[in-house]
Amino acid sequence: MAETPKSNLQLVAAKAGVSVSSVSRVLNGGSASEDLARKVREAAAELGYVPHASARTMRTGRTDQITLAVADVGNPVYVQMMRTVTGIVAKAGYRLVVSSTGSDPASQIDLVTSLNRGYADGLLMSPLRITEDLVEAMKSSRLPIVVIGTLPADVELDNVRADSATGIGLAVEHLVAQGRRRIALVNGPVDTVPGSARLAGYLAAIERYGLPTSSELQVTATAFTYRAGRKATAALLGQASPDAIIGANDLLAVAALKELAAAGVRVPRDTAVVGMDDTDAAELATPSLTSVDLGSAKRAKAAAKLLIRRIQEPDAPVSRIVIPPALSIRESTGGPA
């Protein structure tokens, strides 16, 4: 390989015949005579000088990195968030470090404490499960953290949340308007933040419309994944015959679509299906999937901006932002092809 020699300020200074501090000044846009600036720039270019990130961090305390922690890089809703956040963060001059934590609270606590190691200026996280310990760790962090998702009311941390309850309300309203009455829920684990929120929203909406609230219409997948969704839907179909199914996220809903197709049930004629998150997967499904847009892209965008603001103004008041849901109607509930 055509080795680029390792270079530093000192070498550049020597080559240009000036002092180290002058090189630093020129390269960081400080005031300098034209002659000096030219010499420095030439020497730097010739040596292929690039500043050493850690050394700079040490001196300035800034890393120009932001960490995004997600439970599962394979979940399309996180993919959507990553895509959005990458853009925002890059525009503000930060690099994005993506960390896949799994759903385990312990590894998330690790992540939060390791933030104090100083390899990021801030943390963006969307925890699936929130424990007291995690909240404690987040509160005592020296570096800013913005949570994408719901937090207990008394926690003084910036956060951007969805409104699952209203979102499910939209789905139920839409289904009821089409004459559906036996509306089932294929949920993810209820000990997770989205899982519990969606169950509560479902129950509230069902009651509001005076629909049957049989426990046979509620099943819980072991995870928010396609595979778990297939199993849960199979169990559901074995114990009830719903005329509509709401999946707690798009993957579960797509799984329901596939399981219904395998069972010979026609969608939407016999059973309508609604997903949540309105990810790419909803559009790609066949039939395309009506889905509750919980604003994941907007949430990610708002959270990233919030974090960047807080890094710049650590003492700004705590913000809590709620992104309102919307319904994207597609074929799986009789919408346009």
Interaction site with DNA (CB under 7 A): 6, 8-10, 18-22, 24-25, 27-28, 31-33, 35-36, 49, 51-52, 55-56, 58-60
Q: Which of residues 196-225 bind its own copies (CB under 8 A)?
A: none
Looking at the Cβ atoms of 4 and 21, the one nearer to DNA is 21
Give me the least distance between CB of 62 and DNA, in Å please. 9
Interhelix angle 76-91/250-262, nearest 10 degrees: 150
CA pair distance 232, 195, nearest whole angstrom: 14
Looking at the Cβ atoms of 254 and 302, the one nearer to its own copies is 254
CA pair distance 222, 232, nearest whole angstrom: 8
Give me the least distance between CB of 74 and its own copies, in Å please. 6
* Residues constituting the chain: 337
Looking at the Cβ atoms of 21 and 239, the one nearer to DNA is 21
Any contact of residue 187 with its own copies (CB under 8 A)?
no
Q: What is the DSSP string of 10-59?
A: HHHHHHHTS-HHHHHHHHTT----HHHHHHHHHHHHHHT----HHHHHHH
Any contact of residue 45 with its own copies (CB under 8 A)?
no
CA pair distance 245, 265, nearest whole angstrom: 12
Instruction: Using CB under 8 A, pick the residue from 29, 132, 142, 153 that binds its own copies.
Output: 142
261 binds, among its own copies, DNA, none (CB under 5 to 8 A by kind): its own copies
DSSP bridge partners of 244: 183, 272
Instruction: Using CB under 8 A, pick the residue from 98, 165, 240, 322 that binds its own copies.
Output: 98
Instruction: Using CB under 8 A, pick the residue from 52, 91, 208, 266 that binds its own copies.
Output: 52
Judged on CB neighbours under 10 Å (0-12, 13-18, 19+), 216 is middle
Q: How far is CA 95 from the centre of its chain?
A: 16
Any contact of residue 139 with its own copies (CB under 8 A)?
yes
By DSSP bridging, strand 218-220 and strand 183-187 are parallel
Any contact of residue 154 with its own copies (CB under 8 A)?
no
Any contact of residue 8 with its own copies (CB under 8 A)?
no
22 binds, among DNA, its own copies, none (CB under 5 to 8 A by kind): DNA
Looking at the Cβ atoms of 140 and 213, the one nearer to DNA is 140
CA pair distance 195, 190, nearest whole angstrom: 4
Please state the φ and ψ torsions of residue 279, each to the nearest 5 degrees. Answer: -90, 180
33 binds, among DNA, its own copies, none (CB under 5 to 8 A by kind): DNA
284 binds, among its own copies, DNA, none (CB under 5 to 8 A by kind): its own copies
The angle at the Cα of 278, spanning 249 to 78, to the nearest 5 degrees, equals: 70
Closest CA to 234 of 251, 215, 257: 257
Q: Binding segment for its own copies among 2-10, 37-45, 203-211, 296-304 (CB under 8 A)?
A: 2-10
What is the chain's alpha carbon radius of gyration, rounded to the nearest angstrom? 26
DSSP bridge partners of 98: 68
Residue 280, CB-side half-sphere exposure with 13 Å CA sphere: 8
Give me the least distance between CB of 244 and its own copies, in Å please. 19
Looking at the Cβ atoms of 10 and 131, the one nearer to DNA is 10
Any contact of residue 118 with its own copies (CB under 8 A)?
yes
218 binds, among its own copies, DNA, none (CB under 5 to 8 A by kind): none
**Residues contributing to the site for its own copies (CB under 8 A):** 1-4, 6, 48, 50-55, 57-58, 63, 65, 73-74, 79-80, 82-83, 86, 95-100, 113-114, 116-119, 136, 139-142, 156-157, 226, 254, 257-258, 261-262, 280-281, 283-288, 337
